[in-house]
Amino acid sequence: MIDIIIGALATFGALFVLFAAIGLVRMPDTYLRISVTTKAATLGVGLVLMSTTVYFSNADVTSQAFVIILFLLLTAPVSAHLIGRASYFIGVKLWDKSVMDELRGKYQKNTHILKSIVDDTPEDNVDHTKMDDK
Amino acid sequence: MTLFEYLHYIILPVLVVSAVLILWRFIKGPSIADKIVSLDLLITTGIGVIAVYSVIYNQSTLMDTALILALIAFLSTVALSYYLEKRKRK
């Protein structure tokens, strides 16, 4: 019975990691790839670590695995936001079928401050339609 | 089929196939942000592989390595994105 629980948890974890890898290959855009990375892979690795806690059923391993899961759950959104912000600043193009860019003209190019409205100084703003370098 | 055979012949190949797919994106990736994201995901997949190996070999000490790898993945992503953002700010 314990073996079935361990096998099921490991199976779902490996499947979610595989879905994250397929999404990383198949998604058309850097931002969509970041989204796949931070959701599916965290859930998959968390499930595999849960299977180790069921196998050992030991206070040391359980606390250690929960520390790793908590750390992954805390740091995955932070790192995804940081790399998404940096890739927006260095001019990574959005998918050409994207319907809208909510951040167009709201990031300041020099100070890296996010404004809530588009003002009348467009030369200071990050605009992907006018950006040609990588 | 025992649990160890199942983990050894089904779960580990699935994780390895996903690691190969992530490595393909790391080699191909059009921008440098893709490479950083795929590196982060590769280390996260490595944590899963280490967890499966700790069950197969009945060694709970291997989880220490997984914790260190989780720390290193977060730190490298933060540092690389910081310098990537700073490169453009003149």
pLDDT tens-digit series, residues A14-61: 999 999 999 999 988 888 889 888 889 999 999 999 999 999 988 999
Q: Out of B17, B31, B87, whose CB is closest to A92?
A: B31
Chain A nearest-CA distance from B38, in A, is 8
How many residues belong to chain A? 134
Digit-coded pLDDT (tens) for B2-60: 888 898 999 999 999 999 999 999 998 788 889 999 999 999 999 999 999 999 999 88
**Residue A19: left (phi > 0), alpha (psi -120 to 50), or beta?**
alpha
Chain A nearest-CA distance from B45, in A, is 7
What are the residues whose beta carbons fall under 8 Å from the beta carbon of A123, sequence distance 6 or more? none
* Assembly ipTM: 0.90
Q: Does B54 touch chain A (CB under 8 A)?
A: yes
Of A27 and A129, the structure prediction assigns the larger pLDDT to A27
Q: Does B61 touch chain A (CB under 8 A)?
A: no
pLDDT score recorded for residue B89: 57
Q: What is the DSSP letter of A134?
A: -
Quickly list H helices, A1-98. 2-26, 30-36, 42-56, 59-89
Question: What is the spatial distance between Cα A61 and Cα B8, in angstroms, rounded to a whole number?
Answer: 21
